[in-house]
Structures are given as C-alpha cells and as structure tokens.
C-alpha cells in the first residue's frame, strides 16, 4: 500500500489525534475503576452512590459506552479513519520525517543551530528503511486481534446498534472481557 507523503505538521496532527484518543481511553478506564474501587472500599461513598443510584448507574454506563467507542476510534480498520493503523502506516510510509536532517530541523525549531545538536543527531537511532519499523505492526497485531474478537462485537451489538438485550450481551459477549487485561490493553497502546 503506498502512503501519501506527509509534511511534519500533517504527521504531527495524526500523532495528536491518536494521542487524544488514547488519553481519553485511559482517563475513562481509570475513572470507571475508581468509582468501583471507592464503592467497595469506602462505606460513605457507597452510601452516597446508593442515595441516587439512577444517576450513578447512568454515569457508569456513559463511561463504559465511551470506552467502547473510544477503543473503536483507536483500533478501527477503516482505511480513511484516523487510527493507530493510520499512524503506523504513515510512519512506515514517511521515513523522511525520521531522517537526520529532519531531526536536526525539529531540534532547531527555526532557531540557531545549538552546539550540542551534531553529537545528539550522531547518537540518535535513525531508521533507514521501513523494515526497521515493521515491529510496530507486529506489536500491534495482538491488540488489534483482541479488539476485533472481544471489544468490537460489544461496541457493535450494544453501543452502536441495539442488536441484543443487555442480558444476552452479558452471556454472549461480555464473558470475554477482563478488566485487568483491558488495563494492560489500553495502557500498552500509548505512543
């Protein structure tokens, strides 16, 4: 697949878009976990949650829905979506952005050439071909597979469309989820 040549600003925009989604997934996940942790470990919090259970059930539902939607935006395989796959393909297809000259230019930021720059660039690892970065796709593959097998069906059947009841989803779909695994899944996705 040929990749459109990107300017540094276009590439940085892709990085920023994905970083925002990853940060959102992490914040949503830990907010959900903290509400649960507080309810279990602090009787005052549990009492407070029980005083207005509909409000808190709504909050937790919104967090859960947001997490599934955000994970979809990160791992979607749609060719024209801004996802982790888009960013990796842009990285593999735009090695000029990682050249010694590009690194020097970024470090100078339009200012005078600093004394330390030549030794910094000389000691930096500079990829010379896309093969040297293929490990990015290889490392991503198990996470993508897990998303496609476990989380995408839930997003599709529950949050994007109502294809089954919550009870059916609990039996058929949520059994494959694991909160600790999801924590590793979402935090290992950081760039």
Q: Is residue 111 part of a domain?
A: no
Residues 76-101 have pLDDT tens digits of 988 889 999 999 999 999 999 999 99
Cα dist. 101→6, 110, 112, 129 in Å? 16, 13, 15, 15
98 vs 186, more confident: 98
What's the pLDDT at 71? 94
Residues 114-139 have pLDDT tens digits of 999 999 999 999 999 999 999 999 99
Q: Is residue 62 part of a domain?
A: yes
Cα–Cα distance measured from residue 114 to residue 19, given in angstroms and rounded to the nearest whole number: 29
**Of 2-6, 17-21, 149-153, which gets the smallest average pLDDT?**
2-6
CB of 29 within 8 A of CB of 22?
Answer: no
Number of domains the chain is built from: 1
Cα–Cα distance measured from residue 76 to residue 155, given in angstroms and rounded to the nearest whole number: 11
Residue 156: count other Cβ atoms within 10 Å of its Cβ.
Answer: 14
Structure tokens at 89: 């393909």
Which of 89, 35, 77 has its CA nearest to residue 60? 35
Q: Is residue 3 part of a domain?
A: no
71 vs 186, more confident: 71
Segments forming the whole domain that contains residue 69: 8-106+120-187
Is the model's pLDDT at 191 over the cut of 50? no
Is the model's pLDDT at 157 over the cut of 90? no
Helices and strands (H, E) in the chain, number of each type: 10, 0
Confidence band (pLDDT; 50, 70, 90) for 185? Answer: low
Q: Give the gyration radius of the chain's Cα atoms.
A: 21
162 vs 13, more confident: 13
Which of 139, 136, 163 has its CA nearest to residue 152? 163
What global pTM score does this model have?
0.80
Is the model's pLDDT at 2 over the cut of 70? no
Confidence band (pLDDT; 50, 70, 90) for 188? Answer: low
Mean pLDDT of all residues belonging to the chain: 88
Cβ-proximal residues to 89 (8 Å cutoff; 6+ apart), any chain:
1, 3
113 vs 176, more confident: 113
């Amino acid at each position: 697949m040929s990749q459109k040549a990107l300017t540094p600003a276009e590439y940085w925009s892709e990085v920023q878009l994905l970083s925002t989604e990853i940060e959102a997934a992490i914040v949503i996940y830990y907010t959900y976990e903290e509400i649960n942790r507080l309810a279990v470990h602090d009787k005052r919090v549990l009492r407070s949650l029980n005083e207005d259970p509909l409000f808190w059930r709504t909050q937790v539902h919104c967090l859960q829905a947001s997490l599934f939607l955000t994970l979809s935006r990160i791992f979607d395989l749609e060719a024209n979506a801004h996802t982790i796959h888009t960013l990796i393909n842009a990285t593999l297809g735009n090695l000029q952005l990682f050249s010694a000259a590009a690194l020097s230019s970024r470090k100078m930021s339009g200012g005078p050439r600093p004394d330390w720059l030549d030794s910094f660039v000389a000691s930096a690892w500079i990829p010379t071909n896309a093969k040297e970065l293929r490990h990015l796709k290889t490392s991503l593959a198990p996470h993508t597979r897990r998303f496609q097998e476990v989380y995408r069906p839930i997003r599709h059947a529950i949050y994007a469309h109502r294809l089954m009841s919550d009870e059916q989803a609990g039996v058929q779909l949520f059994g494959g989820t694991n909160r600790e695994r999801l924590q590793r899944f979402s935090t290992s996705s950081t760039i």
